[in-house]
Structure 1
Amino acid sequence: MDLDQGLRGRLVRAGVELLREQGTAALSLRETARRAGVSHGAPRRWFPTHLSLLSAIAREGFADLAGRIDTALAAAPPQPRARVAALARVYIDFAAAERGMFELMFRHDLLQSGYLGLREAGLPLFRLLVGLVAECRPEAPRAEVAAGALWAALHGMAELRNWGSMQLATGASDPAPFLDAILTAHLGENA
Structure 2
Amino acid sequence: MGQYLMYLLVRGVEAVLSVLPLTFCARLGQFLGGLAHAFFGGPRRLALRNLEIAFGREKDLDWRKAAARKHFRSLGANFLCSLKFQVMSEAEIVKRVTIEGTEHAQAVAASGKPLLYAICHLGCWELLTNIPSLFCYGRKPATIYQPLSNPYLESHLRRRREKLGYVLFSRNDGFGAPIKHLREGSSAIGVLVDQHAGDKGIWCPFFDRLASTSSLAA
Name the TM tier (shorter chain).
Answer: 0.3 to 0.5
TM (norm. structure 2) is 0.31
Higher share in strand = 2
TM (norm. structure 1) is 0.34
